[in-house]
C-alpha cells in the first residue's frame, strides 16, 4: 500500500466525491445489505445473544479498567512460553522495532496476514523504506496492494471493486510482484481466486518471516488468536521461521475461558457465519511445529489517549467485526475511503479522532459523519454507544480553539444525507430524545431501538420519516 491516508481532506469533501460515484454506491448498497442479512440470521440463532453481548461488554470493561495488570500478565505468560515481548508507544517506534526484528533475521521479505493495526502504523511503507518488501496475502488486501489503493471496509477491504476491475488489477499487476496472472484470466471469482492461490503459493513456501496482528491475546495463558477464512493466515502463522505480531494494547482479554464469549460474538457479527473457516491460536513457540521465534509488539499509538476519556474509553472494546459499518446509512452512501483512516464507518468516526486527536482534518469532521440514528449501537456485539461518544466528540471539536466552523462541517455532512437543514433538525431531535429517554428515538424510529437488536435498516430512513412528517404524511404510529 503506497497511498497513505495523510493529507486526506475532511470527511465532507471526501464524501461528496464518493456519493457522486454511482458504481461505488451500488456496490456498497448490495454488499452491506447482503452481509447485514447474513448477520441477522446468524445472530437470531442464539437466544442468549443479549447475554453474550453483556458478557462481552463487561469482560472488555474489566480488562480496560485494569489494563496495566493484564498487559503485565500477558507479557510474562508469553515470555514463559518462549516468546519475546516488545512495547511501542507510537507508530514510529513500532515500525522501527519490526524493521529491526526483520533485519535481525537477515531477510528482506515478509508475508503478512490481514491486520488493521499494521495498516494503522503504515508498516508496509516503513519496511519498504528500509528495503524490506511486505507482501499482503489476504485476497482483498492483495487486490488493494496491487492497485496501490486503500482498504474501504474492515472485513472486505476491496468491497468497492467489482469483478471486472479485480480481473484487470490482477492481470496487469501480478507480474510486478511475482508469479504473473495466467493468460486469458476471466472475471469469474473462481478463476480470480485460483490466480491468487498460484501467485502466492511459492511465496508462502519460501518466505521466512511473517507479520500478523491478533484478534485476541489471552493474558493468563499468553495465547494469541487469529480468525480468518482463506488459509493465508494459517500459512503465515505456521510456515515461516519467525513470526512477529503487532497487537494493540486493547486486544488483551483476561482468561482463556473469555474466548467462549468472543468466539461466539465475532464470527456471527462479522461475516454472519456460525464460525469463520479458520481460527488459529498459539502460545509462544511449539517446538517442531511452526515458527521457532515469536515476537509480540504491544502498541499504544494513541490508545492510552482514548483510554483517558471515561466516555470515549468504550471505543477500545471494539473487536473490529464491522457490523456497525454495514448498518450505517452514512457509510452505505460514502464508502470507507471518505473516513480518511483505516478505521471507517461508525467505529472509525469515534476511534480515529480519539487516537489522533481532533485538531486537524479529517479528524475534526469525523464526529459529524453520522446521523446519530443509533443503528450501530444496536448491532455492536460489545455494546459500544457510538452515538454517545460522537456527541461528546462534537462538543470537544466545537470547544477547541481554532475550530473553523461547525456549520461548514454540518453543512457538508448534511449534504451527504440529502439536506442539511433537515439533518440538523433531525440530529437535534435525535439528540434531545436520547437525553430524555436514553437510547430511544421517536416513532417510528423507536422500532429500531425498542427491539434491542436491529434486524436491518427499516424501509424509511430517519431523514425520510422527518420529511414525511414535516409534509403532514406522518400517521402518528
* 366-385 binders of ligand SF4 (CB under 6 A): 379-382, 384
Q: By C-beta, is 256 or 415 nearer to another protein?
A: 256
Report d(CA 150, CA 254) in Å as an integer. Answer: 34
Name the phi and psi angles at 151, rounded to 5. -65, 150
CA-based nearest residue to 339, from 359, 317, 320, 365: 365
Contact with another protein (CB under 8 A) among 223, 245, 314, 383 = 223
**Residue 293 or 406 with smaller CB distance to another protein:** 293
- The entry of ligand SF4, another protein, none near residue 323 (CB within 5 to 8 angstroms by kind) is ligand SF4
DSSP characters over 349-365: HHHHHHHH-SSSTTTTT
List the strands of the sheet with 133-136, edge to edge.
84-88, 293-299, 242-248, 209-212, 109-112, 133-136
In this structure, the dihedral spanned by the alpha carbons of residues 91, 92, 98 and 103, taken in order and rounded to 10 degrees, is 160
Binding to another protein (CB under 8 A): which residues in 104-163? Answer: 137-140, 143, 156-159, 162-163
Out of 147, 271, 427, 449, the only residue in the binding site for another protein (CB under 8 A) is 271
Residue 171 or residue 376: which is nearer to ligand SF4 going by CB?
376
Instruction: State how far the Cα of 352 lies from the Cα of 339, in Å rounded to an integer.
Output: 9
Q: Which residue among 319, 364, 366, 433 contacts ligand SF4 (CB under 6 A)?
A: 319
Residue 24 binds which of ligand SF4, another protein, none (CB < 5-8 A, kind-dependent)? none
- Which sign, positive or negative, has the C-alpha torsion 461, 335, 354, 322? positive
Q: How many CA atoms lie within 13 A of 170 on its CB side?
A: 32
Q: Helical H runs in 220-275?
A: 232-238, 259-270
CB of 141 to ligand SF4, least distance (A): 18
> Measured between alpha carbons, how far is 110 from 89 in angstroms, rounded to an integer?
23
Enumerate residues 250-269 that contact ligand SF4 by CB under 6 A.
269
198: buried, middle or exposed (CB in 10 Å: 19+, 13-18, 0-12)? middle
Nearer to another protein, 45 or 395 (CB): 45
Site residues for another protein, window 309-328 (CB under 8 A)?
310
Residue 172, all three cell numbers: 496487469
State which of residues 52, 235, 244, 321 lies at the interface with ligand SF4 (CB under 6 A).
321
Backbone φ and ψ of 244, nearest 5°: -120, 120
Q: Is 67 in the site for ligand SF4 (CB under 6 A)?
A: no
| Interface pick for another protein out of 8, 14, 88, 214 (rule CB under 8 A) | 88
Asked if 28 touches ligand SF4 (CB under 6 A), the answer is no
Is 79 a binding residue for another protein by CB under 8 A? The answer is no
The x, y and z cell numbers of residue 113, run together, are 496476514
Interaction residues for ligand SF4, span 382-421 (CB under 6 A): 382, 384
All three cell numbers of 276, joined, read 469463520
Report the length, in residues, of the chain. 477
Q: Which does 232 bind (CB under 5 to 8 A by kind): ligand SF4, another protein, none?
A: another protein
Q: Which is nearer to ligand SF4, 101 or 454 (CB)?
A: 454
Instruction: Work out how close the CB of 138 gets to another protein at its nearest, in angstroms, rounded to a whole number.
Output: 8
Figure out which of the listed residues 167, 320, 333, 394 binds ligand SF4, where binding follows CB under 6 A.
320
Rounded Cα distance, 110 and 108, in Å: 7
Which of another protein, ligand SF4, none sits in contact with 450, Cβ below 5 to 8 A by type?
A: none
* Among 278, 260, 250, 346, residue whose Cα is nearest residue 114: 278
Q: At what angle do helices 49-65 and 259-270 cross, to 10 degrees?
A: 120
Beta-bridged to residue 77, according to DSSP, are none
Based on the shown chain and the rule CB under 6 A, indicate whether residue 155 belongs to the binding site for ligand SF4: no
Q: Which of another protein, ligand SF4, none is residue 34 near (CB under 5 to 8 Å by kind)?
A: another protein
Q: Which is nearer to another protein, 153 or 434 (CB)?
A: 153
Shortest approach of ligand SF4 to residue 299 CB, angstroms? 17
Residues 155-194 contacting another protein, CB under 8 A: 156-159, 162-163, 166, 189-190, 192-193
Give the shortest CB-380-to-ligand SF4 separation in angstroms.
Answer: 3
Among the listed residues 347, 366, 375, 412, the single contact to ligand SF4 using CB under 6 A: 347
Q: Does residue number 413 form part of the binding site for another protein (CB under 8 A)? A: no
Q: Cβ distance 212 to 281 under 8 Å?
A: no
Total interface residues for ligand SF4 by CB under 6 A: 14
Distance of closest approach, residue 187 Cβ to another protein, in angstroms: 9
Nearest CA-CA partner of 112 in 190, 200, 218: 200
Determine, following the binding rule CB under 6 A, whether residue 244 of this chain makes contact with ligand SF4. no
Per CB under 8 A, contacts with another protein among 281-300 are: 281-283, 286, 288-290, 298, 300
The C-alpha angle 61, 277, 138, rounded to 5 degrees, equals 85
Taking a C-beta distance cutoff of 8 angstroms, is the pair 84, 295 a contact? yes
Point out which residues bind ligand SF4 (CB under 6 A): 269, 318-324, 347, 379-382, 384
Amino acid at each position: 500500500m503506497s497511498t497513505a491516508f495523510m493529507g486526506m481532506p475532511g470527511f465532507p469533501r471526501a464524501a461528496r466525491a464518493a456519493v457522486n460515484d454511482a458504481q461505488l454506491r451500488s456496490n456498497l448498497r448490495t454488499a452491506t445489505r447482503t452481509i447485514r442479512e447474513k448477520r441477522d440470521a446468524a445472530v437470531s440463532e442464539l437466544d442468549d445473544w443479549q447475554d453474550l453481548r453483556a458478557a462481552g461488554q463487561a469482560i472488555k470493561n474489566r480488562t480496560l479498567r485494569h489494563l496495566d495488570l493484564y498487559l503485565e500478565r500477558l507479557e510474562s505468560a508469553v515470555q514463559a512460553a518462549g516468546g519475546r515481548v516488545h512495547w511501542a508507544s507510537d507508530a514510529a517506534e513500532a515500525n522501527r522495532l519490526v524493521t529491526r526484528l526483520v533485519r535481525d533475521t537477515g531477510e528482506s521479505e515478509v508475508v503478512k496476514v490481514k491486520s488493521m493495526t499494521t495498516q494503522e502504523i503504515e508498516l508496509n511503507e516503513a519496511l519498504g523504506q528500509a528495503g524490506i518488501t511486505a507482501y499482503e496475502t489476504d485476497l482483498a488486501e492483495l487486490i488493494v496492494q496491487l492497485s496501490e489503493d486503500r482498504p474501504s471496509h474492515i472485513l472486505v477491504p476491496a468491497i468497492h471493486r467489482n469483478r471486472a476491475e479485480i480481473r484487470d488489477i490482477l492481470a496487469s499487476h501480478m507480474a510486478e510482484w511475482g508469479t504473473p496472472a495466467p493468460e486469458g484470466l476471466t472475471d469469474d471469482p473462481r478463476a480470480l481466486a485460483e490466480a491468487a492461490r498460484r501467485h502466492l503459493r511459492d511465496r508462502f513456501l519460501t518466505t521466512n518471516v511473517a507479520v500478523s496482528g491478533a484478534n485476541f491475546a489471552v493474558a493468563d495463558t499468553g495465547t494469541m488468536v487469529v480468525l480468518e477464512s482463506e488459509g493465508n493466515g494459517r500459512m503465515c502463522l505456521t510456515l515461516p521461521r519467525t513470526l512477529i505480531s503487532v497487537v494493540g494494547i486493547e486486544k488483551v482479554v483476561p482468561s482463556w475461558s473469555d474466548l467462549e464469549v468472543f468466539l461466539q460474538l465475532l464470527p456471527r457479527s462479522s461475516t454472519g457465519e456460525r464460525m469463520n473457516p479458520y481460527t488459529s491460536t498459539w502460545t509462544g513457540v511449539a517446538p517442531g511445529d511452526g515458527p521457532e521465534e515469536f515476537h509480540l509488539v504491544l502498541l499504544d499509538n494513541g490508545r492510552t489517549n482514548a483510554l483517558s476519556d471515561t466516555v470515549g474509553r468504550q471505543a477500545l472494546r471494539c473487536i473490529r467485526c464491522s457490523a456497525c459499518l454495514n448498518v450505517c446509512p452514512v457509510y452505505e452512501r460514502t464508502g470507507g475511503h471518505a473516513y480518511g483512516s483505516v478505521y471507517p464507518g461508525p467505529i472509525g468516526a469515534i476511534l480515529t479522532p480519539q487516537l489522533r486527536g481532533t485538531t486537524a482534518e479529517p479528524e475534526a469532521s469525523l464526529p459529524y459523519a453520522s446521523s446519530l440514528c443509533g443503528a450501530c449501537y444496536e448491532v455492536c456485539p460489545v455494546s459500544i454507544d457510538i452515538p454517545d461518544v460522537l456527541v461528546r466528540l462534537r462538543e470537544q471539536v466545537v470547544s477547541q480553539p481554532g475550530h473553523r466552523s461547525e456549520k461548514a462541517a454540518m453543512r457538508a455532512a448534511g449534504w451527504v444525507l440529502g439536506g442539511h437543514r433537515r439533518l440538523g433538525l433531525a440530529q437535534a431531535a435525535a439528540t434531545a430524545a436520547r437525553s430524555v429517554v436514553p437510547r430511544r428515538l421517536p416513532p417510528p424510529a423507536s422500532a429500531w431501538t425498542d427491539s434491542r437488536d436491529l434486524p436491518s435498516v427499516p424501509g424509511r430512513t430517519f431523514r425520510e420519516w422527518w420529511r414525511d412528517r414535516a409534509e403532514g404524511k406522518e400517521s402518528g404510529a
